[in-house]
Amino acid sequence: MGRYSSLKLIVGLGNPGQGYSDNRHNVGFMCVNHFAKLHNIQFSKKKGDARVAEGIINDEPVIVAKPQTFMNASGKAVNALLSRLKLNADDLIVVHDDLDLSIGRIRIRKGGSSGGHKGIQSIISDIDTADFIRIRIGIGRPDDSEDRQDHEQVIDYVLSGFSPFERAVIEKTIVRVNEALDSLLQSGLVPTMNTFNSSEKTVTDNTSGQIVEELERHRNSDVSYH
């Protein structure tokens, strides 16, 4: 693919390897996998430290990437791709998990701090700016805990899989994230933020609402799914 002035780089964050594929921390990978499949493009190439899929989506040239550096060094792969493609932070969209959003909620913004996310912090440090678009996907905190000091508990949580109830929510959220990516490519940031940040609902249909209610009931019970 040649250099296009409108080329966008969409990066999903996660850890490489089958052992991590279903982890909460890999929801960024899950989203871009679905996005690539939806648009009939494949991660058939490797550019530097990333697996990439490229094609024309909604009449826009797009490269979708999954860094293979492990989460905490994501910036190395992203910086190399931006340099190789002669892109800047305005051309970058990053999809990642967020502990501070409840399960299945999404928030879209440009710029801001890393919020403690090591992958985002790595990107900010390596490309020397925080001025890029992020799609944040809520995975909640362990046991709805507000204790941000229990670092070990948080690591165990993000590197574990979703419960069946959470998985049902996340599968619908992945579809919603793909709609947001399409909107970013077609309509730009502000209309997409207005559409996808305006609702506090995790997902839009009644079935999903029932799933969320069920999830909350089981989280408040003594039943464990991990």
User: Which pLDDT does position 221 carry in this prediction?
Assistant: 38
- The rounded average pLDDT for each run of 10 residues, N- to C-terminus, in the chain (226 residues) is 69 94 94 96 92 90 96 96 96 96 95 94 97 96 63 86 94 97 94 85 46 48 30
Q: How many CA atoms lie within 13 A of 48 on its CB side?
A: 17
The burial class, CB within 10 Å (0-12 / 13-18 / 19+), for 143 is exposed
Encoded tokens for 131:
């001025």
User: Which pLDDT does position 42 carry in this prediction?
Assistant: 95
- Write the DSSP string, 81-142: HHHHHT--GGGEEEEEEETTS-TT-EEEEES---TT-HHHHHHHHHHT---SEEEEEE---G
Residues tagged active-site: 25
**Domains plus CATH for the chain?**
8-219 (3.40.50.1470)
What pTM, to 2 d.p., does this model score?
Answer: 0.84
Q: What are phi and psi of 55, to 5 degrees?
A: 180, -170
Encoded tokens for 87:
């892109």
Residues 6+ apart with CB under 8 A from 122: 71, 72, 73, 74, 75, 76
